[in-house]
A and B are shown apart, each in its own frame.
Chain A
Amino acid sequence: MKGMTSFFAQRRGIVSAGAVIGALAALLVRWGNPANMGICVACFTRDTVGALGLHRAAVVQYIRPELVGFVWGALLAALLFREYRPRGGSAPVLRFVLGVFSMIGALVFLGCPWRAYLRLAGGDLNGLTAIAGFVVGIAGGVWFLKHGYSLGRSTTMGRAVGWVMPAFALLLLALLFFRVKFTPEGPIFFSTTGPGSAHAPLLIALAVGLVAGFLAQRTRFCTMGAVRDLMLMRDSHLLSGVVAFIVTAFVFNVALGNFKLGFTLQPVSHSNHLWNFLGMALSGLSFALAGGCPGRQYFMSGEGDGDATMFVFGMFAGAALAHNFNLAASTDRVVEGVFVRGGPSVWGQAAVLLGLVVVAAIGWTMRE
């Protein structure tokens, strides 16, 4: 066990984890997930929120078992290696707000950082614009950190705090497995068209989520931390995991014939550069101030972190808001032979600008 701990702590550990998760992400598309969406934590959250009926966008409704796997994979790893610790109390309400706005930013881009990297690995060059915005957002977060930003220390808490997310994840799995119908016309909803209808078989998706959750808990794989650590400490440990993730997904995409280079008409994507950039800048800033990317928030919620659980619930609320109030972007499309560029509505644009102001205000006011 000690040898395994040491392996995962080393660079070859994080590189291996990134490569395995990248390969599995590319394979999930082969097994049924939407294109360039083998793993997208924001999209999966949005689909799950839709399945619960908390928004009614009919094309993005499905309980994603990968999310259940993330939580339980991390929980099992933390229990096995004696790192499970129920904790919380570090400004949970602000973490909820950061979760809301990180999700709004992600749905204006149409993906979280995981998908930004995967879109790049699939040839969608909008991934580059988004990653640029993401990096600028994280740079903002690092600036606040250097100027005294902190959400305060978390403390060890009672066992119930740590069980909230694993229990919620199990409930989601049960609702998916039994396809519960609460009313004839009501939830649980399952998309019959669109991205929500495209999914890998349940057990495969769950297994991939468990593996990713386990590996990420051991290695601290984080798509935001990779950039933050480089900026803050010139440390490339986490970044090497992300690079391995992108390169492996790219190789698998090419091998599977899922690589298509270009900006326009990419799958579940729009080429409105300004809002791809700003949407991910908002997400990057929110993740940096919350101390982890959306994937890592799920993993930490699995290892007992009640503050990360609050962030995830914030993401749930953000997804509901994004689709109920027309904040999420539309995709590039061709209507009667004419190309129509997608992007956010004026409401989505306003929400991103409001989000940047609110999240920056959190960064500014929460300085010690």
Chain B
Amino acid sequence: MEQTQHGVLLFHSTNWALKAEKAAKQASIEVKLIPTPRHLSSDCGTALRFRWQDRDALIQALSEREVTFEHMAEL
């Protein structure tokens, strides 16, 4: 079975990660708050994990609700 590929969004603050989670859930996109992956940053902030296949829908959902993020990366 093929493993689901995930991506992660990094934010300037935890507050924006929480806003992004809310926006994604409103758009019925499955996401999960996780600690910022260590290899991406030494900051101990909050990041949002999503399925890579949902990437475009997520970006659109965030931009519709004016939620900005700092960085997107594949996990």
Residue positions of A touching B, CB distance < 8 A: 5-6, 8-9, 78, 83, 145-146, 148-153, 217, 219-220, 222, 225, 229, 232-233, 235, 237-238, 291-292, 296, 303, 367-368
Q: Return the chain B residue nearest A9 by Cβ.
A: B38
Q: In the bound complex, how far is the Cα of B44 from the Cα of A78, in angstroms?
A: 14
Query: Which of B14, B15, B16, B34 has the most chain A CB atoms closer than 10 A to its own CB?
Result: B15
Which chain A residues lie closer than 8 Å to B32 at the CB level? 233
- Cβ B15 vs Cβ A149 within 8 A: yes
Residues 27-75 of B contacting A (Cβ, < 8 Å)? 32-35, 37-39, 42, 44-46
- Cβ A368 vs Cβ B35 within 8 A: no
- Cβ A232 vs Cβ B46 within 8 A: yes
Which chain B residues lie closer than 8 Å to A146 at the CB level? 18
- Cβ A368 vs Cβ B42 within 8 A: no
Q: Return the chain A residue nearest B42 by Cβ.
A: A83
CB contact between B44 and one of A5, A153, A220 (< 8 Å): that residue: A220
B interface majority secondary structure:
mixed
Q: Return the chain B residue nearest A149 by Cβ.
A: B15
Q: In the bound complex, how far is the Cα of B19 from the Cα of A229, in angstroms?
A: 17
For the complex of A and B, list the 5 residue pairs with the smallest distance between their C-beta atoms, beginning with the closest. A9-B38, A153-B12, A150-B15, A150-B13, A233-B33
CB contact between A5 and one of B15, B18, B39 (< 8 Å): that residue: B39
Known contacts A220-B44, A292-B44, A6 near B14 by CB under 8 Å: no
- Cβ A78 vs Cβ B14 within 8 A: no
Q: In the bound complex, how far is the Cα of B16 from the Cα of A290, in angstroms?
A: 16
Which chain A residues lie closer than 8 Å to B45 at the CB level? 291
Q: In the bound complex, how far is the Cα of B19 from the Cα of A225, in angstroms?
A: 20
CB contact between A222 and one of B18, B38, B44, B46 (< 8 Å): that residue: B44
- Please name 5 further chain A to chain B contacts, defined as beta carbons within 8 Å, in addition to the given A219-B38, A238-B35, sorted by A numbering: A148-B15, A152-B13, A217-B42, A225-B35, A291-B44
